[in-house]
């Protein structure tokens, strides 16, 4: 059983999972880092920075005068982020905080990153409102995946829909996070008090032959799905994987909500 939970029990947040996810998406994430560098922030605050992977990437594209601040409630992840940050030639502050409980201690910054962190926040409206008041001139960059916009194939629609329903039943009732959070995020951001709101949807896609760096993420995603669905659907999915062990006739895509507010 692979848990994909970090040491504080946050799902989809253990360091190996985040590493695989990051490596699979390096080309797309590099493009994001370059785009963010055009905002010329003097400080970047990464909410739920985990092991510091995004900050490490940004370190390559953002001038060293810009301060990096990372916040996470998981000490083990912060320890890894701390180790990573040692080679960065800039001011770096890593804070062990619970974003909801310690809301007042979140510092203001020019650019705040909320990358796949909202699913863990219960009262998202109040949280976004509080962020917008921290620095009225600051920007908020959001990236949000959704369990319903991840697809692998080809497979019969009937089988896929069985898997999707099983997965939704298993994860929707979780009180640990919202696996289906794109619509809540969109809604809250649209109604927020930020003046400028820009929304996009970003496609991440790979078709076989898969690049080497993508395969651990892909396999992890399939294995995680197998663990959360009914025995019958899991049996189908494992058989489907085994039918094409060399992965010659496979595709994968997911769509993330991207927002920039200021
Ligand atoms: C899915 S990971 C996202 C990591 C990174 N932002 C990314 O996009 O790769 C979520 C991170 O948020 C942290 N987290 C979740 N809820 C939190 C909270 N209430 N306060 C602080 N950190 C939290 C978890 O510990 C985990 O490291």
Could you read off the pLDDT of 5-35 as tens digits, one per residue?
788 888 777 899 999 999 999 999 999 999 9
pTM for the structure as a whole:
0.96
Burial environment of residue 149 by CB neighbours within 10 A (0 to 12, 13 to 18, 19 or more)? middle
Using CB distances shorter than 6 Å, the residues near ligand 1 are 6, 8, 10, 12-13, 18, 48, 50, 53-54, 71-74, 77, 98-100, 115-117, 120
Atom of ligand 1 at shortest range from CA of 101: 19
Beta-bridged to residue 260, according to DSSP, are 141, 198
Nearest ligand 1 atom to the CA of 48 is 12
What number is the average pLDDT over the span 78-96?
A: 98
pLDDT at 198 over 70: yes
User: How many A from CA of 35 to the centre of ligand 1?
Assistant: 22
CA distance 45 to 145: 20
Instruction: Answer whether CATH 3.40.50.150 is correct for domain 15-147+177-207+251-261.
Output: yes
Q: Residue 118 C-alpha to ligand 1 middle, in angstroms?
A: 9
Confidence check: pLDDT of 249 > 80: yes
* Residue ranges of domains in the chain: 15-147+177-207+251-261
- The continuous run of DSSP H or E covering 225 comes out as helix 215-228
Ligand 1 binding pocket mutation candidate from 29, 58, 72, 179 (most atoms within 8 A of CB): 72
Say whether pLDDT at 39 is over 90. yes
- Angle at 111 (CA atoms; ends 18, 213), nearest 5 degrees: 25
**What is the CA(112)–ligand 1 centre distance, in A?**
14
Give the chain's mean pLDDT. 95
Distance 61 CA to ligand 1 centre (A): 23
**H or E stretch at 150:** strand 150-153
| From 29-33, 83-87, 144-148, 166-170, the region with the lowest mean pLDDT | 166-170
| 257 CA to centre of ligand 1 in angstroms | 17
With vertex at residue 10, the alpha carbon angle to CA 9 and CA 15, rounded to the nearest 5 degrees, is 95
Give the pLDDT score at 3.
62
Encoding tokens for residue 26? Answer: 């390096």
Per-residue pLDDT band for 239 (boundaries 50, 70, 90) equals: very high
Percent of the chain with pLDDT over 70: 99
**Structure confidence by residue, pLDDT tens digits, 121-144:** 999 999 999 999 999 999 999 999
Which residue owns the Cα nearest ligand 1 atom 3? Answer: 116
Pairing of strands 139-144, 43-47: unpaired
- CB–CB of 252/151 below 8 Å? yes
| Distance (Å, whole) CA 230 – CA 170 | 9
C-alpha 78 to ligand 1 mean position (Å): 10
- Displacement of CA 64 from its chain's centroid (Å): 25
Lowest mean pLDDT among 11-15, 34-38, 53-57, 171-175: 171-175
- Is the pLDDT score of 71 beyond 70? yes
Supply φ then ψ for residue 152, to 5 degrees.
-125, 150
Q: Is the pLDDT of residue 1 over 60?
A: no
Q: How many CA atoms lie within 13 A of 138 on its CB side?
A: 22
Length of the chain: 262
For ligand 1, what atom is nearest to the CA of residue 74? Answer: 25
Give CA torsion, residues 34, 22, 194, 95, to 10 deg: -110
């Amino acid at each position: 059983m692979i848990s994909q939970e970090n040491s504080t029990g946050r799902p989809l947040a253990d360091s190996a999972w985040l590493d695989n996810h990051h490596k699979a998406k390096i080309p797309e994430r590099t493009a994001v880092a370059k785009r963010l560098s055009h905002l010329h922030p003097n400080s970047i605050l990464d909410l739920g920075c985990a092991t510091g992977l995004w900050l490490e990437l940004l370190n390559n594209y953002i001038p060293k005068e810009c301060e990096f601040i990372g916040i996470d409630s998981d000490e083990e992840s912060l320890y890894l982020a701390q180790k990573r940050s040692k080679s960065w030639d800039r001011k770096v502050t890593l804070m062990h905080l619970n974003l909801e409980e310690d809301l007042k201690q979140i510092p203001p910054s020019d650019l705040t990153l909320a990358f796949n962190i909202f699913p863990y926040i219960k009262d998202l409206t109040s949280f976004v409102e509080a962020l917008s008041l921290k620095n009225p001139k600051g920007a908020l960059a959001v990236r949000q995946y959704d369990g319903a916009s991840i697809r692998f194939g080809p497979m019969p629609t009937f089988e896929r829909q069985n898997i999707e329903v099983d997965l939704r039943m298993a994860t929707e009732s979780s009180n640990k996070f919202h696996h289906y959070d794109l619509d809540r995020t969109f809604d809250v951001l649209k109604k927020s008090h930020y003046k400028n709101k820009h929304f996009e949807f970003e496609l991440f896609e790979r078709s076989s032959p898969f690049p080497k760096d993508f395969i651990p993420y892909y396999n992890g995603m399939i294995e995680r799905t197998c663990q959360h669905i009914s025995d019958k659907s899991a049996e189908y999915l494992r058989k489907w994987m085994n039918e094409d062990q060399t992965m010659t006739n496979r595709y994968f895509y997911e769509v993330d909500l991207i927002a920039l507010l200021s």
